[in-house]
Structure 1
Amino acid sequence: MRSAFGTTFAVDGVYLNTPSIGVPPAPVVDAVADAVTGWGRGAAEPPEFDAHVATGREAFASLVGVPASSVVLGSAVSGLLGLVAASLPAGARVLTAEREFTSVTFPFAAAGHDVGEVPLEELPERAAGADVVAVSVVASADGALLDLAALRAEVGPDTLVVLDATQSLGWLPADLAWADAVVAGGYKWLLSPRGAAWMAVSERLAARLVPAQSGWYAGGWDAIYGLPLRLHDDARRFDLSPVWLAHVGAAVALPWIASLDATAVHDHAVGLANRLRAGLDLPRGDSAIVAVRRDGAAERLAAAGVRAAVRHGAARVGFHLHNTEADADAVLDALA
């Protein structure tokens, strides 16, 4: 059992794979376990989950810096961005970064739009010519950070900006509220069960979205049978029906993360990443994710019991709330 930031984690060994799946703190595990037990006993009532959904929505809005009324509920990033892609004019020009995570790019490509890739560092200066810029705030493959300030300065007034904050929200303090869409899955740095995802949408984007996938939840308990169409008048009109048990966990995880000192969280995670970089004679960075490009690195880490991932031939590690200096040193020992 580890103690960190006022809570405990039951993580075993050296776990550095948060960019793939986060390790929840004990209160999140307990909340989900209790809900599963109640479900198994036949004690669950559907309306009881509404409070969990609302709590998670409000905490996500707080993390992004937007009103809760602008937040759409989904189950995965790709599904939420599919809603955006389907609402664009045919053949829209979409700009993204090279090696972007495909949950960001595939919805636009599958909808038949003209999706162009450029190096991440060149994206801001190329943004003005696009109808849509769709990109991750932090790259999944290697942890590279998007220059948000440069993008905001260079983007054209008619260009929609869609940001995937899945690999940043939870450790990277950043001004995201200016974007037209900020989407994130909850099962990585937000330490929630898979099946909870959210998207904050600007008023101008919301006016263009078609609620084509909306079901009863987009209208509420008074809209579960029969016509006419009746949906909520805010972003909830685009909601998918929630994955209930996922939102039980999110309702504990997100408010707790939102309550933490964001600077302290950032300095903790990036500080550990820089401890590793220093030991590997790499330059200091500003990301909690480190891509280790050394022959046999992934195999050595696995042999030493270090949980990591392999992306584009590099061993990818990520430092979050539960990690310690000993975890960074374990990587160095394994690679020595």
Structure 2
Amino acid sequence: MDTATWTPPALWQPEPGWLNTASYGLPPEPAWQAMQAAQADWRTGRTSWEGWDAATQRAREVFARLIGVDAADVAVGAQVSQLLAPVAAALPDGATVLVPDIEFTSNVFPWAVHADRGVTVRTASLDGYLDAIVPGVDVVAFALVQSANGRVADLAAISAAARAVGALVVVDATQATGWLPYDGSLADVVAVGAYKWLMSPRGSGFAYLAPRVRERVRPILAGWYAGDDPHGSYYGMPLRLAKDARAFDLSPAWFPWVGTAPALEVIEDIGVERIHAHNLRLANRFLRELGQEPGDSAIVTVDVPDAQQKLERAGIRAAVRAGGVRASFHVYSTDADVDAAVAALLG
């Protein structure tokens, strides 16, 4: 595949200079149009809600294919911390959880709130993380791609080390899914917020929950949507939950899911491998132009004096943390975006 000449389909309308997908992704046209149509129907009461809800199952099935797992093992929810909460609540008293020392708190706080029953959250540097997976660690929790600096974890190596000590493998793949190919079945739990690289509205998310995990976890957020037949679970006893990961579903906010399904379908149609190659080409061109070594991530960081002021003057939208620029490149990013950002930072 010649990524240097590949042009993404004209399905986005970004203002030039958007290099901040690590904060939120931009919707492809099918997702945007689907949401507008659904909200127009809502405004006038033109239809019932079941059609909006059907998008949830469509999105679940595409997500499962994107990460190589069975749709029956995927639960839907709203945010990473909410999706991880039942897993954390099921930990035995006194359990030890290992996280990277710069881990985004959506994969830290759900574990840390159980300190009153002896759950300990231990931290390790990214460079020393693999060596910190030792007997006595019960959960190995980490981001597949770090939000702060774009560092890509070695999922296979970490999973193997965790299995060797009997630890649960919990991955926050929010900053990876949609651009980085990976095998979700290497983990026990994969939680993903869809509003970044999956280019979906904020408020939709997924969790791969391996069957061996579900046997240990109570669906503490269960409601009617977690029922074996949701439409037959509106009222009263007995408890009648789904036999698969749908028992952990959160009743969906309709409109985010109306936009999520077509956004994921666009990613599947293009192909994650193609998106990955496109994103890396642009990210590494950006690094090289600024005198940095190329890397393996669509999220890159560079230290440039007065970066925020330089980017703002040029109309470039990227994250700036403590003077360092975090730029993130996705399918709608272009060479012109790279040129404008480099010119601004070198100016």
TM range (shorter): over 0.9
289-298 or 309-318, larger mean C-alpha shift: 309-318
Structure 1 residue 65 corresponds to structure 2 residue 68: yes
2:120 counterpart residue number? 114
From 80, 89, 99, the counterpart of 1:96: 99
From 310, 317, 331, the counterpart of 2:320: 310
89-98 or 40-49, larger mean C-alpha shift: 40-49
Distance 1:128 1:4 in 2: 46
From 72, 77, 95, the counterpart of 1:74: 77
Matched residue type, 1:10: Q
> Offset of 1:313 from its aligned partner?
4.0
Secondary structure of the 2:128 match is helix
Structure 1 residue 237 corresponds to structure 2 residue 247: yes
Secondary structure of the 1:291 match is strand
Superimposed CA distance per residue, residues 180-235 of structure 1 (whole angstroms, 9 cap, x where no aligned partner): 00110000000000010000011111111101111111010101101111111111
Structure 1 residue 260 corresponds to structure 2 residue 263: no
Secondary structure of the 1:88 match is coil
Equivalent pair of 2:181/2:272 in contact (CA under 8 Å): yes
Runs of 4+ in 1 over 4 A off after TM superposition: none
Equivalent pair of 2:307/2:323 in contact (CA under 8 Å): no
Superimposed CA distance per residue, residues 106-135 of structure 1 (whole angstroms, 9 cap, x where no aligned partner): 100012220011011221222233100111
Distance 2:100 2:206 in 1: 22
What is the identity percentage for the equivalent residue pairs of Structure 1 and Structure 2?
44
> Offset of 1:48 from its aligned partner?
1.8
1:177 counterpart residue number? 185
Distance 1:27 1:259 in 2: 12
Secondary structure of the 2:134 match is helix
Distance 1:67 1:270 in 2: 28
Equivalent pair of 2:38/2:258 in contact (CA under 8 Å): yes
> What does residue range 218-297 of structure 1 map to in structure 2 within 5 Å?
218-219=226-227, 220-297=230-307
From 151, 155, 164, the counterpart of 2:158: 151
Equivalent pair of 1:74/1:242 in contact (CA under 8 Å): yes
**How many pairs does the alignment contain?**
334
Matched residue type, 2:131: E
> Offset of 1:27 from its aligned partner?
1.4
* Structure 2 gap segments, 5+ residues each: 1-5
258-267 or 99-108, larger mean C-alpha shift: 258-267
Distance 2:16 2:271 in 1: 26
1:212 counterpart residue number? 220
Matched residue type, 1:182: V
> Offset of 1:17 from its aligned partner?
0.8
> Offset of 1:155 from its aligned partner?
1.7
2:3 counterpart residue number? none
Matched residue type, 1:76: Q
Matched residue type, 1:311: R
Distance 2:246 2:300 in 1: 37
Secondary structure of the 2:145 match is coil
From 127, 139, 145, the counterpart of 1:138: 145
Distance 2:56 2:86 in 1: 20
Equivalent pair of 2:99/2:121 in contact (CA under 8 Å): yes
> Offset of 1:41 from its aligned partner?
0.8
Distance 1:144 1:313 in 2: 19
Distance 1:153 1:247 in 2: 34
Distance 2:45 2:60 in 1: 27
From 166, 170, 180, the counterpart of 1:162: 170
Equivalent pair of 2:53/2:257 in contact (CA under 8 Å): no
Distance 1:38 1:119 in 2: 50
Matched residue type, 1:69: A
Distance 1:46 1:234 in 2: 24
Structure 1 residue 190 corresponds to structure 2 residue 193: no
> What does residue range 21-36 of structure 1 map to in structure 2 within 5 Å?
21-36=24-39
**TM-score under structure 2 normalisation?**
0.93
2:134 counterpart residue number? 128
From 192, 195, 200, the counterpart of 2:208: 200
**TM-score under structure 1 normalisation?**
0.96
Secondary structure of the 1:63 match is helix
Q: From the superposition, tell whether residues 12 and 265 of structure 1 become closer, same or farther in structure 2 (CA, over 3 Å).
A: same
Distance 1:186 1:328 in 2: 25
Superimposed CA distance per residue, residues 247-295 of structure 1 (whole angstroms, 9 cap, x where no aligned partner): 0011101122123232221111011000010011111100001112122
Distance 1:306 1:265 in 2: 22
